Chain A
Amino acid sequence: GIQVEQSPPDLILQEGANSTLRCNFSDSVNNLQWFHQNPWGQLINLFYIPSGTKQNGRLSATTVATERYSLLYISSSQTTDSGVYFCAVEQGQAGTALIFGKGTTLSVSS
């Protein structure tokens, strides 16, 4: 099956810093999404981004499908950005679902 690797596994930042999270995947995909799991366990969908670039406030994401990677940028980080960031991909054949990476744990301190 398809492999999803996220890096770095852990990231510690001071408030106000910028960061880039990476997601590599082993095969072509038709669906790629980024999620944030906050410290209370809630999973929030950040982006649906099988290709191209999207921005939402201080967050943006870029997927280069031909090179099999996606990047999540967090600018001017805040303590509320802390949590685990997951990348998930799906190849699109019938009977498949999103396969998740192991996540990047982000801690932002004030």
Chain B
Amino acid sequence: DTAVSQTPKYLVTQMGNDKSIKCEQNLGHDTMYWYKQDSKKFLKIMFSYNNKELIINETVPNRFSPKSPDKAHLNLHINSLELGDSAVYFCASSPQGGWEKLFFGSGTQLSVL
């Protein structure tokens, strides 16, 4: 039943490791996003894909690489994790580039030790 699902919910790892977060939506939406929420709850857009095509790539270290195998999936791979990467990462989707309601996944809390 879950509309936007992301896994894992918690990710604890050591500095320097590589990790991935997966996201899937079953709403039939064309556009998917990754947002980062910092410790002060501030939400910031990282990436956006429309029908598997990258349309937004904010100023994010190139250690972060999104991949969209199809329009229902958007994964986030992070190389060489740093302490400052600790945050909650949210996947989201919308029908048409954000012109309608945005729906969020439940978030992945990443802790880099």
Contact = CB atoms under 8 A, between A and B. Distances in A.
Contacts of A102: 40-42
Contact of A97 (B56, B90, B107, B109): B56
A100 B42 contact: yes
A30 B100 CA distance: 10
Interface string B90-106: 10000000111111101
A41 B88 contact: yes
Nearest to B43: A100
Interface residues of B, number: 22
B44 A100 contact: yes
A43 B104 contact: yes
Binding site of A, secondary structure by majority: helix, strand, loop or mixed?
strand
Given A84-B41, A103-B41, A98 B55 contact: no
Contacts of A96: 56, 98
Contacts, number: 51
Size bin of chain A's contact surface: 20 to 34
Interface in B39-79: 40-45, 48, 55-56
Contacts of B98: 31, 90, 96-98
Contacts of A100: 42-44
Which residue, of B33, B42, B44, B102, has the highest number of chain A Cβ atoms within 10 A? Answer: B102
Interface string A87-102: 0101010111111101
B56 A95 contact: yes
Interface of B: 33, 40-45, 48, 55-56, 88, 90, 98-104, 106-107, 109
Given A33-B101, A48-B100, 12 more contacts: A31-B99, A33-B102, A43-B107, A45-B101, A45-B102, A95-B55, A97-B33, A97-B56, A97-B98, A98-B45, A98-B98, A100-B42
3 shortest A-B CB distances, which residue pairs? A43-B104, A100-B43, A97-B45
